[in-house]
Amino acid sequence: MAKLLRAAVFALAGDFIAGNAVETDTILFAMKSVIVGTAGHIDHGKTSLVKALTGIDADRLEEEKRRGITIDIGFAHLNLPTPNGETFRLGFVDVPGHERFVRNMLAGVGGIDLVLLIIAADEGIKPQTREHFDICRLLAVKRGITVLTKSDSVDADTLEVVRLEVDDFLRGSFLDTSHAPLVAVSALTGVGLDELRSALTKIAAEVPARDSAALARLPIDRVFTMKGFGTVVTGTLVSGTIRKEEELEVFPAGQRLRVRGVQVYGAAAEQAIAGQRTALNLAGISTDDLARGMTLAPPNTLHSTSRLDVSLSLLPSAKPLKDRARVHFHAFTINPMRSFAWPTPRCSCREIVSSCDSFRRWLRSEED
C-alpha cells in the first residue's frame, strides 16, 4: 500500500446477459442509479452480504466458487423502493478481501458512490480492513455504512466490544459513527438486513446524480466474447450517455468502434446514462484490442498523456517516498504494473506530509 499512488476517480462494471432481455429503458432512465462498493478483510462476509441483499452471487468465476474466496470484482444489483414512492437502483461492486488481490479491489472501488465497510463481528479489525479503509479515504469516498457481519456468531457482549473497537477506529473519518451508520447484521439469519436497507435508502438519497449530459466516459472493467453477440465490454458509465449505434473511440489505443447493443443492469436498453452499470456489445473491434483500464469515449475527445500533475497524500502508515521512487499509478479501472518517476524536488514525502498534507507534484511515465 505504501507505494500505491492513486489519483482521482475510478470505475466498475455490469453483466451482459443474453436472452429474455426486455426493453426497460424508460423505467431505468427514470430510476436514480447509485453504485455501492464493498470493502473489508478476507472472509468477513462481503459476498454473502451482497447475496443476502440482492439474491445475486457476485462470485462468478469457477475458481472463486471452488476456493470460496473472491478473486476479481463481481457485480449485483437491487431496486430499493423509498418511502416517498421513488425507486433507487443500487449497483453493487463486490471486491476481494485477499491482500494479493488488492489491485482488483482498487479497480472495483474507484468511482463508487458509497462504501459498505464490512467487518466480521467474530474477528474485528484486521489488516485489509485498515488497508481498504485507507484506500476509500484516499479515493475521497464521502459516504458509507459500516456493517458488522456474522453477528449470529458472537454473543451480545462480544458484539458490543467489537462495536466499541470499530467506533474508535472510525473516529474523525467519513464513517465516524456520530454521523454515519453502523449496522450489525447476519447474512445467515437475516438479522439487521432491514435496518441496513433503510440506511442504504437514506444515504442513496443523498448521493448527487451524475451528469448524463457531460462527455461520455466508460472506463472498461471487463472484456469478453459472447456467443451470438461478439465483443462485449462492461463498466460504470462515469459521465454522459451512450446510445445504440453510436461511434466511440477506445483510449488510449485510438481504434474506432460501433455500439451494436446496450444493456443496463442486464436488460436491453436504447442508451446508458451516467452512474449506470453498463454493458456494450461492440462491432468493429475484437477482444484482443481491448482490456481493463482502457476508456471508451466519443472520437477525438480525450488525449493520452505520460505526464500528469497530482495532488499527493501519503498515509501516515506508509514508508517515506524517496526522490525518484517508482510507484504504481491507478486511475479509474487502470491497474497498471507501469512505473513512474518521482522527479523533483529532492525531499522525502514524510517531509512533504508533515509540512503540508497534500502536495502537488508531477508523475512521469518511465516509458516516456
- Which residues contact ligand GTP by CB under 6 A? 42-48, 69-70, 96-98, 149-150, 152-153, 186-188
CB neighbours of residue 356 within 10 Å: 9
Nearer to Mg ion, 70 or 276 (CB): 70
Picking from 241, 253, 252, 255, the residue whose alpha carbon sits closest to that of residue 284 is 255
Shortest Cβ distance from residue 116 to ligand GTP (Å)? 11
Residue 32 bridge partners (DSSP): 88
Q: Which does 188 bind (CB under 5 to 8 A by kind): Mg ion, ligand GTP, none?
A: ligand GTP
Nearer to ligand GTP, 98 or 338 (CB): 98
Q: Which does 241 bind (CB under 5 to 8 A by kind): ligand GTP, Mg ion, none?
A: none
Residues 42, 128 contacting (CB under 8 angstroms): yes
Looking only at residues 38 through 77 of this chain, which bind Mg ion when binding is defined by CB under 5 A?
Answer: 46-47, 70
Picking from 36, 41, 43, the residue whose alpha carbon sits closest to that of residue 59 is 43
Residue 297 bridge partners (DSSP): 249
Q: Which does 177 bind (CB under 5 to 8 A by kind): ligand GTP, Mg ion, none?
A: none
Q: Which does 339 bind (CB under 5 to 8 A by kind): ligand GTP, Mg ion, none?
A: none
Shortest Cβ distance from residue 118 to ligand GTP (Å)? 6
Shortest Cβ distance from residue 189 to ligand GTP (Å)? 7
DSSP 203-254: HHHHSPPP-TTS--BEE--EEEEETTTEEEEEEE--BSEEETT-EEEEETTT
Residue nearest to ligand GTP (CB): 97
Residues 6+ apart with CB under 8 A from 47: 38, 57, 58, 59, 70, 74, 94
Q: Which does 43 bind (CB under 5 to 8 A by kind): ligand GTP, Mg ion, none?
A: ligand GTP
Shortest Cβ distance from residue 69 to Mg ion (Å)? 6
Q: How far is CA 75 from the centre of its chain?
A: 10
Residues that bind Mg ion (CB under 5 A): 46-47, 70
